[in-house]
């Protein structure tokens, strides 16, 4: 068994196909396929299911995947430690990013640019995804660091958080929506598009969450932290939200709500999203559901000094919320 064969196997799984894996590895596809078959013959097991449109690991392949990744990480760790003693720092870091995170006040691009200038030998691979998938990828070792929207207060097992953004959710409705005249905040914000009132932070005098029962709701997609927070809050109130539209772009959610198609549930501050739409922003009554963005990493720490260095930079550079 050769180390490169384990690398080829892991890459094919991550890319879900031989063509993209060969491109990433800068290999000819026949040679890549041949090496994978040699590994399967040596192990006496089929590691990949090639029958579908995308290549997926078999049951044996899924069981072997963490060990293959651990072997590759161990070898990379040897190289990185040697480089560290030689005054160098290099490697490849995989970072997961929540869709739309660039719209927030922290400048992820600036932090990454400064890190790259300081450590030009380190390759940072960015990928977008839902919070659920990225948290699972962190647990499995497929990601080193991720910016996620956690749906629960406590981190998932094996993962640590640093909260960067913590915002209350608000209901955005058209001025002629039945909920528009039902709260003091809605009346105060009529015609402004910013009707959050003074109770937005503590839920005083806000819209009861039960008011959403049976109404068409417009929300971020399933798997996002905001959607998870909404569903958990509604479950505690004894009902399931009737989500009729979902989209990853909060601006599109606002447009749908502006057409009277439902109640958009979005994080506040939402003025930039609803500006010019004529929507009213209604704060929820206590307990106010909150949406968070957090920096996440495996509790045991990154697998190498390169990832540890980037994590330290991100924890400092993105620290706009409580640690």
Calpha distance 264→279 (Å, rounded)? 10
CA dihedral 133→139→125→153, nearest 10 degrees, is: 60
Domain shared by 114 and 21, yes or no: no
pLDDT tier at 276, thresholds 50, 70, 90: low
| Total domain count, the chain | 2
Residues 233 and 312 in one domain: yes
pLDDT digits (tens, 9 = 90+) for 151-201: 777 778 889 989 888 889 999 999 989 888 754 443 333 334 444 443 444
**Residues sharing a CB contact under 8 Å with residue 59, sequence separation 6 or more, in sequence order:** none
pLDDT at 77 over 80: no
Task: Give the domain extent around 293.
Answer: 90-323
For the full predicted model, state whether its pTM sits above 0.85: no
Check whether 12 has a pLDDT greater than 90: yes
Taken in order 86, 88, 94, 99, is the CA torsion positive or negative? Answer: positive
When the pLDDT of each residue in the chain is averaged and rounded to a whole number, the result is 82
What pLDDT band is residue 101 in, cutting at 50, 70 and 90? Answer: low
The model's confidence at residue 79, banded by pLDDT at 50, 70 and 90, is confident
Residue that is last in its domain, among 52, 71, 88:
88
**How high is the pLDDT of residue 299?**
86
Lookup result for tokens 């990832």: 307
Residues 10 and 147 in one domain: no
Q: What is the pLDDT of residue 269?
A: 58
Reported as a single tens digit per residue, the pLDDT across 48-75 is 999 888 899 999 999 999 999 999 888 8
Q: Give the pLDDT of residue 5.
A: 92
Q: What is the mean pLDDT of residues 139-159?
A: 84
Whether residue 255 has pLDDT greater than 50: yes
In a shared domain, residues 84 and 95: no
Of 46, 66, 88, the position where a domain reaches its end is 88
The predicted pLDDT at position 321 comes to 41
CATH number, domain containing residue 49: 1.10.10.10
Kindly tell me if the per-residue pLDDT of 110 is higher than 80: yes
Same domain, 224 and 294: yes
> Domain holding 271: CATH number?
3.40.190.290
Q: Are residues 290 and 196 in the same domain?
A: yes
If asked whether residues 13 and 113 sit together in one domain, one would say no
Question: Beta strand pairing status for 290-298 and 159-173?
Answer: antiparallel
Q: Are residues 78 and 95 in the same domain?
A: no
> Is residue 173 located within the same domain as residue 297?
yes
Residue 273 and residue 204 in one domain: yes
Q: Where a domain ends, among 88, 116, 136?
A: 88
Query: Binning pLDDT at 50, 70 and 90, where does residue 254 land?
Result: confident
Amino acid 206: pLDDT: 86
On whether the CB atoms of residues 173 and 280 are closer than 8 A, the answer is: yes
Residue 114 shares a structural domain with residue 208: yes
Contact 55, 48 (CB under 8 A): yes
Same domain (yes/no): 297, 284: yes
Q: Please compute the mean of the pLDDT values over residues 27-43 and round it to a whole number.
A: 92
């Amino acid at each position: 068994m050769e180390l490169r064969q384990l690398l080829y196997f892991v890459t094919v799984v991550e890319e879900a196909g031989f063509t993209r894996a060969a491109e990433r590895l800068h290999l000819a596809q026949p040679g890549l396929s041949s090496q994978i078959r040699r590994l399967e013959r040596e192990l006496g097991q089929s590691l990949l299911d090639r029958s579908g449109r995308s290549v997926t690991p078999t049951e044996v392949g899924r069981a072997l995947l963490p060990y293959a990744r651990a072997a590759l990480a161990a070898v990379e760790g040897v190289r990185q430690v040697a480089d560290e003693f030689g005054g160098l720092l290099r490697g490849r870091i995989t970072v997961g990013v929540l869709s739309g995170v660039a719209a927030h006040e922290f400048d992820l691009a600036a932090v990454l640019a400064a890190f790259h200038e300081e450590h030009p030998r380190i390759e940072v691979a960015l990928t977008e995804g839902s919070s659920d998938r990225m948290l699972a990828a962190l647990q499995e070792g497929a990601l080193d660091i991720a910016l996620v929207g956690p749906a629960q207060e406590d981190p998932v097992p094996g993962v640590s958080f640093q909260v960067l953004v913590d915002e209350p959710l608000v209901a955005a409705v058209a001025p002629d929506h039945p909920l528009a005249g039902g709260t003091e905040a809605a009346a105060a914000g009529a015609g402004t598009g910013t009707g959050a009132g003074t109770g937005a932070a503590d839920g005083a005098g806000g819209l009861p969450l039960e008011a959403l029962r049976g109404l068409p709701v417009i929300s971020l997609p399933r798997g996002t932290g905001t959607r998870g927070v909404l569903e958990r809050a509604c479950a505690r109130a004894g009902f399931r939200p009737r989500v009729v539209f979902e989209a990853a772009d909060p601006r599109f959610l606002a447009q749908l709500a502006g057409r009277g198609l439902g109640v958009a549930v979005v994080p506040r501050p939402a003025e930039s999203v609803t500006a010019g739409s004529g929507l009213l922003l209604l704060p929820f009554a206590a307990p106010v559901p909150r949406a968070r963005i957090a920096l996440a990493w495996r509790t045991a720490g990154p697998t190498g000094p390169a990832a540890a260095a980037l994590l330290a930079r991100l924890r400092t550079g993105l620290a706009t919320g409580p640690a």
